[in-house]
Amino acid sequence: MAGKKGTENTKKVAGNAKKAEAAAQKAAAENAKREAAESEQWSKGAKSNAKKEAEAAKKAEAAKKKAEKDALMKEEEASLPSRNEPKKSKAPVKKSRGLDLSQLDGDDPSSKSATTLNASGIDNALDALTLASGSNDAKVDKHPERRYPAAFAKYEERRLAEMKADGSGTGLRLDQRKQRIRKEP
């Protein structure tokens, strides 16, 4: 006769449970070990900020020392009697508001014989121009709308001669050289 079919072997069930528990513990230990190795590997591969932080701390300390040193220097300079700074021996050159006829002439503008008219006020300026027109062969016109083109023509002639002498306009047509002269500041 066969045994009862509904009952299980208790010893077998207990053994299987022990095996399953041991296998679960083994798998958990293996997972923990694998996770620890993986996290260690990730920490090696990741960039560490420790170097940057140390450098920033070093710079902050250097800046602090420099500030302290500057404060000490200022304090020392304040405590010592200071001498006044030397006065400038040359006064700044004042610009004359008169007409400079040396620009109109072909002469060197730094020559001593260059004529400069200095006059304050319209009447004095007109008188100075009439005096200048009497001494020059080329009459200086009283109207600015006529003086400007004449002055520019003389300047243009002088600059064309200078460009020819220094060779800066070589290979250019006359019109191109005149355009360059007009664009000069």
Residue 119 sits at φ, ψ, to 5 deg, of -145, 140
Q: Which residues pair with 100 in a beta bridge?
A: 116
Tokens at 21, concatenated: 């528990």
User: How confident is the model at residue 51, as a pLDDT?
Assistant: 83
Q: Report the DSSP beta bridge partners of residue 5.
A: none
Has residue 120 been placed in a domain? yes
Distance between CA atoms of 165 and 89, rounded to whole angstroms?
39
Largest CA distance in the chain: 159
DSSP string, 76-99: HHHHSPPPPPPPPSSPPPPPP-SE
Structure tokens at 1: 């006769």
- The pTM of the full predicted model, rounded to 2 decimals, is 0.27
Greater model confidence, 5 or 121:
121
Q: Residue 154 domain-assigned?
A: yes
The two three-digit tokens of residue 93, written as one number: 């050159």
- Cα gap 153→182, rounded to integer Å: 11
Q: Assess contact for 140 and 133: CB atoms under 8 A.
A: yes
138 located within any domain = yes
Asked, for residue 173, whether it belongs to a domain, the answer is yes
pLDDT tens for 112-157 read 444 566 777 887 787 777 766 655 545 556 677 887 888 889 999 9
Q: What is the domain range of residue 124?
A: 116-183
Enter the tokens of residue 79: 């405590």
**Which pLDDT tens digit goes with each residue over 160-180?**
999 999 988 889 999 999 999
Residue at 144 is within a domain: yes
Domain membership of residue 178 (yes or no) is yes
Number of structural domains the chain divides into: 1
